[in-house]
Amino acid sequence: MAPALGAGDVNEVASLLFNDLERPAFMLRPELSGKKQAMLAAGVLGAGMTGSGPTMFGILGEEGSAREVAAKVRPEFDRVVVARTAHRCVEFLD
């Protein structure tokens, strides 16, 4: 993940998303799995649950696309926020 973040490769970052707690959280709250699937169906490159949940996030490469996806999934969530990150969020010092 660190090299993908350092390179600013959003597709690679999205493909590497993983949270060990998703499976047990989805077993306890099956609707969370449906919310993740809704984001994937709406076009995010990758989606996941933060920490132990229940906050979900999706990754896209462009702000315009993110706003379109946000509009599509808004009915599924209590709150939807579009956030921007720095192009290179990890800088290798050596």
pTM: 0.82
| Dist CA 8 CA 24 (whole Å) | 31
Q: CA triplet 59, 65, 68: central angle to 5 degrees?
A: 110
pLDDT in tens, 17-47: 999 999 999 999 999 999 999 999 999 999 9
Mean pLDDT, residues 42-64: 90
Angle between helices 31-42 and 63-73 (to 10 degrees): 140
| Dist CA 68 CA 73 (whole Å) | 9
Helix (H) or strand (E) holding 27: helix 22-28
